[in-house]
Chains A and B, each alone.
Chain A
């Protein structure tokens, strides 16, 4: 964090090599939150104490302590729910609870891997976090500012700080736009830079994701799947966001290309201090990139813990089943997938009690059927929703 606030507004928000500068500037544009208030406070202190020469260390200490005390997390979702009313043959149909009471936090610089089977609500959760979908209940804070109910204009300015990478780079790029147009668009939308500046930034972006300058005038169909995903990443990176939500970013790619993209995402995270919410159905991919992992089932979080916990602790029966169901690329490793009964039920008919109990090998009736287990912290930072963990 730099302290001379007066100079911050001159540095260009989109492209400064020092991400601290970018961070402070982007705070200016943010919906008024505690970060901003603190920043102004610090600026005041800094200017007052400068002549004495003690200013910098004093402010450092102040920032480190109070910053961690008040607002350590970048994003916070509390009791987030999203219900859809389906249409039935006679009007109102049943209620689909796509996301039901999900709470989690994202800390700066971490990667939270969100894993779950298809239809469990992963993508809906991503859209709620991005403010692309209004939640039925609950709240989302980004950098201390409440996204739910934020005016549209403020939300637009806010969106510069969180961007998304989609699964299917084929359908998420406009086929009628050249690479240059695609990458320039975010700057134009947010009114950043002159024409020449924007061109320079686009060239820089392209190099950053490993594409060549000669690709600039080409159209998306001229690229392979991996190159298109690089384009998608470059577009998400354009505004130098703090948070990237990656929704199955490597699921459509071949193994060798998948490895390239995972490496690129890790490099970019290190270079820019990015925070990732990384969604995947593939536990191997999740284990490759995540510093923390959350497991979702039928719209709820069943478990969340730091990655090390997944290597040693007793896990939720569903998580254990997911882990055992992965065929490992090693013929010496025995493959004994658990006999998980049936398939995930439809989110329209979520089972009573623990949503996993009809398939759970350890379920004990009637308790698991009648009593919903609390989502609680069984060990430091290890959250789990099961009666027997």
Chain B
């Protein structure tokens, strides 16, 4: 990592996302997916991006890497990685960065792997493209990458096809591919959602070890508050295409500020067999509106909504490094 960090411009933050806005043109008109997302990710840090489906977590990740389909998606805003502007740099430069300096792991390990190529071909391809290794050297390096993610008999695995592996092993292969070039930033989009809990625990432990070993920074996207609590240093909570709260993990879980965050935390069933069964959870009423209302996006479901909420709420620092987008704190 040190060599890459040397490229960093003086004082520039590791990853800077400013006012990221995404509109999709669909057959039924324009849909706003992101409404101005801004955050910073520091070197060596894990930032958890949480929210429910459709809130824009994955679109944020795709927009950072400019992976959204071009005519349909209109992206505005700025993404700076080690001081370099990713939103306006040429496509060729972006291809150098993707998979090398910034790697991504997706939720569906089956659809992210090519079914007609062997595991070895796919892991080695990354190394040949970015490191210019020969076929043979790339395969040797690929075997090392596979054993780094805890795949036993890596040499044999290289010759296997994705369908011959279980979901947990496929996810390890994806991690090996992502980490083969020792990137600075890993974007992990729901990497354990399709897995069983015991396998999920293995993958989370693996990620933690690799992060310590390689000095990775991670943008961890998930809907699971348990995973965020256990893996992230800092958390950003998204709702309807906007970050509504951001804080250090301990602070967020101890003092959730936004009514949505509080509702979300109260909705999670606790693993507690001492309580009586079926005790009501404090669920958030209603569901995500198809048309975002003007002003605060959460006002329709918010138990604390009032007249002011029809205007866009301010982004307030309620405690050091703890930001909330709500009129409650204005």
Contact = CB atoms under 8 A, between A and B. Distances in A.
A331 B254 CA distance: 9
B265 A117 contact: no
A254 B223 contact: yes
A327 interface: yes
B197 A117 contact: yes
Contacts of B280: 263, 266
B272 interface: yes
A256 B253 contact: no
B229 interface: yes
B229 A284 contact: no
Contacts of A337: 198, 201-202, 204-205
A227 B201 CA distance: 32
**Among A226, A283, A329, residue most surrounded by chain B Cβ atoms (within 10 Å):** A329
A2 interface: no
A308 interface: yes
A78 interface: no
Q: B interface, how many residues as a size bin?
A: 35 or more
A143 B253 CA distance: 47
Interface stretch (A52-60, A125-133, A285-293): A285-293
Given A256-B267, A288-B270, A343-B166, A263 B281 contact: yes
Contacts of B197: 117, 281-283, 322, 325-326
Nearest to A116: B196
A254 B272 contact: no
Interface in A27-76: none
Contact of A325 (B201, B250, B281): B201
Contacts of B285: 260
Interface in A300-354: 307-311, 321-333, 335, 337-338, 340, 343-344
Interface in B166-192: 166, 168-169
A117 B278 contact: no
A287 B268 CA distance: 11
Contact of A331 (B205, B223, B249): B249
A289 B278 contact: yes
Nearest to A111: B277
Contact of B52 (A111, A254, A284, A321): A254
A313 B103 CA distance: 45
Contacts of B199: 343
B269 interface: yes
Given A281-B197, A326-B197, A259 B278 contact: no
Given A263-B280, A343-B166, A331 B253 contact: yes
A329 B278 CA distance: 19
A287 B230 contact: no
A328 B229 contact: yes
Given A227-B287, A331-B250, A340-B202, A308 B274 contact: yes
Contact of A262 (B223, B230, B253, B281): B281
B273 A269 contact: no
B271 interface: yes
Q: A interface, how many residues as a size bin?
A: 35 or more
B249 A287 contact: no
Given A224-B287, A256-B263, A259-B269, A117 B198 contact: yes
A331 B86 CA distance: 33
Contacts of B266: 259
B283 A307 contact: no
Contact of B272 (A111, A263, A287, A344): A287
B134 to A, nearest CB: 34
Contact of B284 (A259, A270, A310): A259
A329 B253 CA distance: 8
B200 interface: yes
Contacts of B316: none
Nearest to B53: A254
A118 interface: yes
A246 to B, nearest CB: 13
Contacts of B273: 287, 293, 307-311
**Among B168, B200, B230, B263, residue most surrounded by chain A Cβ atoms (within 10 Å):** B230
B196 A117 contact: yes
**Among A307, A326, A330, A332, residue most surrounded by chain B Cβ atoms (within 10 Å):** A330
A47 B282 CA distance: 50
Contacts of B268: 255, 259, 284, 329
B110 interface: no
**Among A291, A308, A337, residue most surrounded by chain B Cβ atoms (within 10 Å):** A337
A291 B196 contact: no
B281 A259 contact: yes
A192 interface: no
Given A284-B268, A288-B270, A331-B250, A269 B198 contact: no
Nearest to A309: B273
A203 interface: no
Contacts of B224: 327
B97 interface: no
Given A226-B287, A327-B227, A287 B270 contact: yes
A173 B108 CA distance: 25
Contact of B274 (A224, A290, A311): A311
A36 to B, nearest CB: 31
Contacts of A343: 166, 168-169, 196, 198-199
A43 B260 CA distance: 57
Contacts of B166: 343
Interface string B210-238: 00000000000001111111110000000
Given A284-B271, A311-B274, 18 more contacts: A117-B198, A118-B196, A255-B264, A256-B267, A259-B284, A260-B284, A262-B281, A263-B283, A288-B270, A289-B278, A307-B277, A311-B273, A326-B197, A331-B249, A331-B250, A340-B201, A340-B202, A343-B198
Which 7 pairs of residues, A with B, have the shortest CB-CB distance? A337-B201, A266-B278, A288-B269, A259-B283, A327-B226, A259-B267, A254-B52
Interface of A: 111, 117-118, 224, 226-227, 254-260, 262-263, 265-266, 269-270, 281-285, 287-291, 293, 307-311, 321-333, 335, 337-338, 340, 343-344
